[in-house]
Amino acid sequence: MNNHPIGIFDSGIGGLSIFGQISYLLPNENLIYVGDTAFLPYGTKSRDLIQDRAHKICSYLLSKHCKAIVVACNTATSVAIQKLRANFSVPIIGIEPAVKPATQQTRSRVIGILATEGTLEGEKFATLKQRFGNDITILHQPCTGLVEMIEAGDLNDKKLHELLKIFVLPLLECGADTLVLGCTHFPLIKPLIAYYAGPKVTILDPSIPVANELKRQLELKSLLLKEESGMYTFFQTGTNEQFEKFICKELGLEPILYSLNI
Can you tell me the distance from the alpha carbon of 248 to that of 153, in angstroms, rounded to the nearest whole number?
13
Write down the catalytic residue from 58, 66, 143, 183.
Answer: 183
Please confirm, yes or no, whether 73 is among the known catalytic residues: yes
Rounding to the nearest 10 degrees, give the CA dihedral for residues 58, 63, 66, 70: -10
At residue 96, the 3 state secondary structure works out as coil
7: Cβ–Cβ under 8 A, 6 or more apart, which residues?
31, 32, 34, 57, 58, 61, 62, 64, 66, 68, 69, 70
Q: Tell me how many degrees the CA angle 150-125-21 measures, rounded to the nearest 5.
A: 50
Site for ligand DGL (CB under 6 A): which residue of 6, 7, 11, 180? 11
Of the residues 184, 207, 236, 237, which one makes contact with ligand DGL according to CB under 6 A: 184
**Vertex 48, ends 44 and 51: CA angle to 5°?**
95
Decide: is 34 part of the binding site for ligand DGL (CB under 6 A): no
Span near ligand DGL by CB under 6 A; candidates 73-81, 167-175, 203-211, 227-235: 73-81
CB 32 within 8 A of CB 5: yes
Residue 96 binds ligand DGL, judged by CB under 6 A: no
Report if residue 119 touches ligand DGL, rule: CB under 6 A.
yes
- The answer to whether 70 contacts ligand DGL (rule: CB under 6 A) is no
Site size for ligand DGL, by CB under 6 A?
16
Candidates 58, 66, 73, 143; catalytic one: 73
Q: Is 41 in the site for ligand DGL (CB under 6 A)?
A: yes
Q: Is 183 in the site for ligand DGL (CB under 6 A)?
A: yes
Q: Which stretch binds ligand DGL (CB under 6 A): 128-136, 169-177, 182-190, 233-241?
A: 182-190
Q: Which residues bind ligand DGL (CB under 6 A)?
A: 10-11, 14, 40-43, 73-75, 116, 119, 147, 183-185
Residues involved in catalysis? 73, 183
